[in-house]
Amino acid sequence: MRFGIAYVFLFLFLVGSFVSAGNISSCANLGEQYSTVFVDQYPPACCVGLKAWEEGMDTRIIVNGACVSTGALSGWPVGRCLACGDQVCNGLENVCNCPEDCNKTVTCASEGNLFSKVFVYDYPSSCCSGLTEWQSGMDTREVVDGKCVDTGRESGNPVGTCIKCGDNFCGLNENVCNCPEDCPENGKCEQREGKCCIGDVCESISGECNPWESAVVTCNADCLPVISCTNTSRCHFLYWIDNENKLCDQQAFCGFYMYYGLQTFETKEECENGIASLNVEHICTAEEKLAEICTMEYVPVCGAKYNCGNETFCKENNIPCGVCSDESQTYGNSCAACADGVESWIQGECGKKINKNETEKQIFTLSNGRRAEIKIMPETASEKAIEVLGNLNFTIELKEVGNNQTAYELTSVKEGKMFGLFNVKGNVSIQIDAETGKVLKTIKPWWAFLASGI
């Protein structure tokens, strides 16, 4: 078996030798691959601050939350870069490749998760405190017309589900069979696929979350659905202005994005009000014009030495008339502007006129200065990821990848069976172009071909 695997990787090595090389970066960013062998296809090392994980050589697997050596041979000299050591276990990190961030042993199953007294290496052996152990794998009863009916079928799967029975609410996975005290026949509120139902009468949710947010629906005390929205993209889609741009575009801001002059807003109305406050024209007083000494503090203003006399043009372009003339220029601060003899000034550097015909766009500024328009929303990217990898609980991030491309990277953990016998979990991810919607890359563990379902 080991020699067979070795032949597989030798074949992959030979195929990789003929893959044409593109523009290779000097170092690999977070989540990207590197290789000290295939230097014509990958960067030779990870960028500063990242941990080099020899993914292609790592044959360990995770069983019941613990890292286990398979003893299998591997010879694929391609690794991946991780942000290991930041005390956060996310992305492609796990207990094998980053134990300092991910070494957290699961001792009990939470609500909605599985447990087993038999398969103790695959599942926690019990439910967490306050939960009821429902032997769902052995329970063949069904709910028919609001009543619990015994089907008489046999079952032998010793895996159960943890439910929160006894809280006087018919919640997740509960029904009249497994929790009659919370779910009496044709009585209490029951949540079904995002709806809140009493018997056959159901109330659907009204309203929706933003495309980059995930929705969680719960039923309140009146059995009405309530939606909670959570941003899962690690980015913020905000309206913005700065010293040069006054268009109130919407753009994705990720990580540490603030710079001098940038102002961000949750709504376009707030952004437009922000522009209005910036464009309040200040008329220099006679005393301010006589100033002989001004500080070197840089708080830029746009000043003009005479009015343009065309108030209609100024108002249409949201520019005070004092700075419509060709004589307008940027000063380091208001003191310097008035001392130079300007008639009036507004806050901020002199910029271009506002073009009200400019369409709303969501822009992502790349490292090379290119402003990429985000045409694909996170919701669409999630649907594409589900088509390729299945319906998983994805974490989504908008980031720069490859040769100055903007992409959504969706990561998750997928379960499968190694050699059809052992339950295993593997990190999977997919990169989707945020401008075109095309799938750029699908990433799975090196051993995925040995496991079904990954």
For the chain, the three-class secondary structure string (H helix, E strand, C coil) is CHHHHHHHHHHHHHHHCCCCCCCCCCCECCCCEECCCCCCCCCCCECCCCEEECHHHCCCEEECCEEECCCCCCCCCCEEEECCCCCCCCCCCCCCCCHHHHCCCCCCECCCCEECCCCCCCCCCCECCCCEEECCCCCCCEEECCEEECCCCCCCCCCEEEECCCCCCECCCCCCCCCCCCCCCCCCEEEECCEEEECCEEECCCCCCCCCEEEEEEECCCCCEEEEEEECCCEEEEEEECCCCCCCEEEEEECCCCCCCCEEECCHHHHHHHHHHHCCCEECCHHHHCCCCCCCCCCCEEEECCCCCCHHHHHHCCCCHHHCCCCCEEECCHHHHHHCCCCEEEECCCCCCCCCCCCCCEEEECCCCCEEECCCCHHHHHHHHHHHHCCCCCEEEEEEECCCEEEEEEEEEEEEEECCCEEEEEEEEEEEECCCCCEEEEECCHHHHHEECC
CA distances from 424 to 239, 253, 415, 433 (A): 43, 36, 6, 30
Q: What is the pLDDT of residue 305?
A: 65
Sequence-separated (6 or more) residues with CB below 8 Å from residue 351:
243, 244, 245, 246, 302
Q: What is the pLDDT of residue 134?
A: 94
- The number of angstroms, rounded, from the C-alpha of 131 to the middle of its chain's C-alpha atoms is 31
Q: What is the pLDDT of residue 231?
A: 66
pLDDT tens track, the chain, 454 positions? 444 544 544 454 444 444 434 467 889 998 899 999 988 889 999 999 899 999 988 888 876 667 778 877 777 899 999 988 887 777 788 888 988 888 755 678 888 888 888 876 667 888 988 999 999 989 999 888 778 899 888 877 889 999 999 887 777 888 889 998 888 776 667 777 778 877 667 778 777 776 666 777 888 777 788 888 776 556 777 888 876 777 888 877 766 566 666 788 888 888 887 776 666 677 888 888 898 888 877 777 888 765 454 555 555 554 555 444 445 778 888 898 888 888 888 777 765 433 333 334 566 666 676 777 888 888 888 888 888 988 888 888 888 887 778 888 888 888 888 887 778 888 899 999 988 999 999 999 888 888 888 8
d(CA 104, CA 395): 19
Half-sphere exposure of 199 (CA within 13 A, CB side): 4
Half-sphere exposure of 334 (CA within 13 A, CB side): 12
Half-sphere exposure of 184 (CA within 13 A, CB side): 4
Q: What is the pLDDT of residue 279?
A: 60
Q: What is the pLDDT of residue 446?
A: 87
Say how many C-beta atoms besides its own lie within 10 A of residue 200's C-beta: 8
- The number of angstroms, rounded, from the C-alpha of 222 to the middle of its chain's C-alpha atoms is 33
Residues 177, 170 contacting (CB under 8 angstroms): no
Q: What is the pLDDT of residue 316?
A: 53
Q: Which residues pair with 425 in a beta bridge?
A: 62, 415
Nearest to 115 by CA among 129, 105, 125, 106: 125
- The residues spanned by each domain of the chain are 2-102, 106-187, 237-347, 365-452
Q: What is the CA radius of gyration of the chain?
A: 30
CA distances from 395 to 142, 230, 342, 403, 411 (A): 35, 12, 53, 23, 5
User: What architecture is domain 365-452?
Assistant: Roll (3.10)
Nearest to 403 by CA among 35, 16, 32, 20: 32
